[in-house]
Amino acid sequence: MAVDGAMRERMGKTACDLALKAGYANAGTVEFILDQEGNFYFIEMNTRLQVEHPVTEMVTGLDLVELQLRIAEGEALAFGQRDITFRGWSIEARICAEDPRRDFYPSTGIITRYTSPRGRNIRIDTGIEAGSVVSIYYDSLLAKVAAWGETREDARKALVYGLNGYHIEGLATNADFVNAILNHPAFVNGELSTDFIEAHFENGRVKLEPPPERIHLMSIAATLVYHNRQNQIRESLRPMAAHVGGVFAPKEYTPYVVKGENDILELRLQGDHDANVWTVWVNDTAYNVVTPDFEFYRRRLKLRINGEPHMFRLQYHGNFISAAFCGTARIFEIYSPREWALARYMPTLEKPLRANLLECPMPGLIVDIRVQKGDRVYKGQELVIIEAMKMESAVASPRDGEIEDVMVKNGQAVEIGNLLVVFKV
């Protein structure tokens, strides 16, 4: 643990001394940075509450917003520093409308589906709901999700569980990214530094492969949902079944082949639909699974696997099911053994490459164009500046070449995929 009680006391005294020198009397925040030798250095002072104030509230039991208002009214605090006690740990995640896989560019749109995180000792501060419009004109912060626990590990697990069930559709968010941080072994072990993301992530994805058991659990969730959706379709057609001919004999188990990126798994499902109790084999590993009553369009799925509760987020595209769990997001393709045997004969979908076109990677407003027709540019050179959510982002050239045409102008509103620049072939 990098910050112990003695260091916290020194930091607190330094912060209070600074506030006294500045003549500031209200709630505020002083930020420090800590080096590997245990020395801390001043960064900045904010004469207001910070986004992270729920963490302080959860470990002290104080309402900082109320106290701030009371101080502003001229009231004196009813307690002293020595009266404040800390209990347990708290961790907060900022959920933002930004796309980690697009270099954290802002994301806009209408929130089409929304379900708040749930769980013991979970707190969420937000102002969005299904139908909310997220535009380019405001900050990207959508919500703050904080969790409390007796220990750091308890708080971390509670926050992971809450984020596993935090469902937002309609625009990209960083929810899975922050969940991936929480689940990274370096974070679990407290091995933190200012270059944590650079060291452990690339293009918004964690460099470390997820543990096999996590992929097993995700494949179980996706396959159970697919299996039951197929069963519900069959049951809906039962009244149309012929009353003559052979009788359908139920199988001892139902086999599937599941592909999730580079992982190919063989699953066998054996269960009682009415009792919601299943045994699922993933390759040769057996899992005991208890499910809820299935709904055809269920987006969140809580399963009890080998006695432990787990929450998954799902989206459906035919026999492709997207699953998100503990910061890992995968699209699972689910096949019967016969379908899998024939799948290799299916043509692959190829997206045509347009190497001479630069498309807009984010929604926003064009505030600066730094090239014109005929200019010679180089890979990495900033061509266009786009403003969105109180930030300016540069769009760099993906190649060396000559500008054939500039397709936008200053003050123009743009969306993802709009054409910005055409290069000469």
Identify which of 422, 392, 397 has the alpha carbon closest to the alpha carbon of residue 407: 422
- Reduced to 3 states, what is the DSSP secondary structure of residue 158? helix
Give dist(CA 100, CA 180) in Å, integer.
Answer: 11
10 is catalytic: no
Give dist(CA 169, CA 377) in Å, integer.
Answer: 38
Q: What are phi and psi of 370, to 5 degrees?
A: -105, 10
244-258 burial, b at 16+ Cβ within 10 Å, e below that, comes to eeeeeeeeeebebbb
Q: How many residues does this entry show for the chain?
A: 425
CA atoms within 13 A on the CB side of 137: 2
User: One of 48, 234, 338, 354 is an active-site residue; which one?
Assistant: 48
CA–chain centroid gap for 347, Å, is: 32
Which residues fall within 8 angstroms of residue 368, CB to CB, at 6 or more apart? 384, 385, 410
Q: 199 vs 92, 131, 195, 204, 300, CA distance in Å?
A: 22, 37, 6, 12, 32
The conformation of residue 362, written as its DSSP 8-state character, comes to S
Match 């600074």 to its residue by tokens.
18
Which pair of structure tokens corresponds to residue 377? 């540019």
Which residues fall within 8 angstroms of residue 32, CB to CB, at 6 or more apart? 11, 14, 40, 41, 42, 43
300-317 burial, b at 16+ Cβ within 10 Å, e below that, comes to ebbbebeeeebbbbbebe
User: Where are any strands of DSSP class E within 222-361?
Assistant: 254-260, 263-272, 277-282, 285-290, 300-305, 308-317, 320-325, 328-335, 357-359
By annotation, the residues acting in catalysis are: 48
